[in-house]
Amino acid sequence: MTHVIDPRPGFRLTGWHVLAIVVAFFSVVIAVDVGMAVYAYKTFPGEVSVTPYEDGVAYNKTLAQLAAQEKLGWKVGIAPEQSRALEVEFRDRDGKPLNGLTLTGKLERPATETGRLTPKFKAIGPGYYQADMRPVSGAWDVTVYAHDGAGHLFVAERRVTWP
């Protein structure tokens, strides 16, 4: 009986093979990380304002507005209602309701500027104003601008959440 020996040697794992496997593995990991970082940057470059320098220069005007609001002593409550309405309550320094205000505002998602809404407020009682916000759900940043007959401006910002 004759035994045939295979002239080809079997596969041997050498240091070069291990090096190639490690380099290939980390190349794939780095490529995926770079791809994800590029995609993240393209979808949100981190820019909050289109005019950041001008916003910074105008910051003293914002501080003056906040000081004027403090002198008014108005208090505001903003609450989301289950009926998908946004209710705002204004009181003066003594706790009396503020009537006859003209309210405007905006609702924005906290993480993105898409889906911005502009509520239309109407007076529903002494010091109470309401805007129908159907259909909304989730978290929203609310900014309400209130003007009275004497030309005073009051700006209130809150984060509200609807179920």
pLDDT at 2 over 70: no
Give the model's pLDDT for residue 72: 85
CATH 2.60.40.1220 for domain 74-162: yes
pLDDT value at 149 more than 70: yes
Cβ atoms of 71 and 153 closer than 8 Å: no
Task: Tell whether the model's pLDDT for residue 48 goes beyond 80.
Answer: no
Instruction: Give me 146's structure tokens.
Output: 């209130």
Highest mean pLDDT among 29-33, 52-56, 106-110, 129-133: 29-33
pLDDT at 20 over 90: yes
Which of 92, 86, 97 is closest to 142 using CA atoms? 86
pTM (two decimals)? 0.64
Task: State mean pLDDT over 95-110.
Answer: 88
Q: How confident is the model at residue 21 (pLDDT cuts 50, 70, 90)?
A: very high
Please report, for the chain, the start and end positions of each structural domain, with discontinuous segments joined by +: 11-45, 74-162
Written as six digits, the tokens of 84 are 């998908």
Cβ partners under 8 Å of residue 131, min gap 6: 85, 86, 88, 103, 105, 119, 120, 121, 122
